[in-house]
Amino acid sequence: MQKINNLAIRLARYRPLLEEATQRVLASGWLVLGPETAAFEKEFAAYVGVDFAVGVANGSDAIELALRALGVEPGDVVATVANAGMYTCGSILHLGAQPFFMDVDLQTQCASIAEVEAALHSGVRAVVVTHLYGRAVPGIELMAKLCADRGVPLIEDCAQAHGACVDGRRVGAFGDAACFSFYPTKNLGGLGDGGAVVCRDQKTELALRQLRQYGWSQKYKVTCPGGRNSRLDELQSAYLRVFLPHLDRDNASRRHWGHCYERGLKNPWVKVPTDLGENHVVHLFVVLVEARESLAAHLHQCGVATDVHYPIPDHQQPILAGNTVRALPCTELLAKQVLTLPCYPEMTEQEVAHVVESVNSWRP
């Protein structure tokens, strides 16, 4: 079965460097918030093009702590999209805030400038935009200006878009803060959970460092409300330092396979993503198809795995049942049609050709 992602190949490819990193950490005797984490934070901030990076335990914590650091409190309303797996929405709810759902563009599956403007006019306390599937949100520069003009913090959810660029500027460098996940399947993933928040403002950085460690201003002295235990450990930091120098090369491989799909997929019932330039790092290759279950079943018979990212829009999740929300027609339509095909750097020409042939041979 052709997998969506094959981490075993990736780990084998980097095994000597990962073993060296492991031995380096073991020899240091420092396992949490030590020199590896400090070095990775510096290197990752430089990669994104910002002043600071603060490692945390996972991507969801990154979003929640970024919201807290930027002043969002219980009862506040935060704008977000509803087609990205509930991750941001879950962090908003955990904070005690409420989501304002923005609809997305059918072509890009990202929030539009008009939807961000609508959220700002409604009086939201903060805006979170998601660079979904690896695509940088179109218009992110203007969105940042609109939010700044209103004095509303803009947070970028970059969990699926490590390395994507807009006019040579990497995602994560536009908002007041940006959140990354280093879950193993991400474009930059570790060997376990991990995350980071990046920013330019030193006050925000200080708040994040306090929030990730109990709210301490110094050891055992809690001065920052809302703190928790959310730290990126030394092993994960060391592993991420192994992968980071190769991220752009791996993204180029993902983009290459995406272009192969774009050129090869000719089934008239399957809509294929386009515009896979520097703005897209092809974290997931997601097509649109009305008869999704039929195509997925056909591909399974052909030995090709698929997945759905994501089948239930946030506003239709059971925990939000009964909440009044705006109409989200594009979000709801996409939830019925999105289907993810295999795509990862270590794929082969033969594997991609098999996926293409299998999709093209399907009829609804």
- Two structure tokens written together for 114: 């008009």
Of 212, 213, 210, nearest to 224 by C-alpha is 210
Tally of domains within the chain: 2
Domain shared by 52 and 151, yes or no: yes
Domain shared by 200 and 309, yes or no: no
C-alpha to C-alpha distance for 230 and 223, rounded to whole angstroms: 17
Q: Are 199 and 208 in contact (CB under 8 A)?
A: yes
Provide the CATH number for the domain around residue 349: 3.90.1150.10
Which pLDDT score is estimated for 321? 77
160 falls within a domain: yes
Domain shared by 184 and 325, yes or no: no
Domain shared by 241 and 251, yes or no: no
Which pLDDT score is estimated for 18? 98
Which pLDDT score is estimated for 234? 98
| φ and ψ at residue 204, rounded to 5 degrees | -65, -40
Provide the CATH number for the domain around residue 225: 3.40.640.10
342 falls within a domain: yes
Peptide bond before residue 261 is cis, with ω within 30 degrees of 0:
no
Domain shared by 175 and 275, yes or no: no
Structural domain including 154 reads 7-245
- pLDDT digit string, tens, across residues 157-184: 999 999 999 999 999 999 999 999 999 9
Domain shared by 47 and 192, yes or no: yes
C-alpha to C-alpha distance for 88 and 26, rounded to whole angstroms: 35
Domain shared by 97 and 174, yes or no: yes
Which pLDDT score is estimated for 302? 98
234 falls within a domain: yes
Domain shared by 238 and 251, yes or no: no
Domain shared by 227 and 301, yes or no: no
1 falls within a domain: no
Domain shared by 310 and 267, yes or no: yes
Structural domain ending residue among the three candidates 210, 245, 280:
245
Helices assigned H by DSSP within the chain: 7-28, 35-48, 59-69, 87-95, 113-122, 140-150, 202-211, 234-243, 247-264, 292-301, 329-337, 349-360
2 falls within a domain: no
pTM, 2 dp? 0.97
Which pLDDT score is estimated for 318? 94
Domain shared by 127 and 274, yes or no: no
Q: Are 179 and 295 in contact (CB under 8 A)?
A: no
Structural domain ending residue among the three candidates 245, 276, 303:
245
Domain shared by 337 and 203, yes or no: no
Residues in the chain: 364
Q: Which ranges of the chain have pLDDT less than 50?
A: none
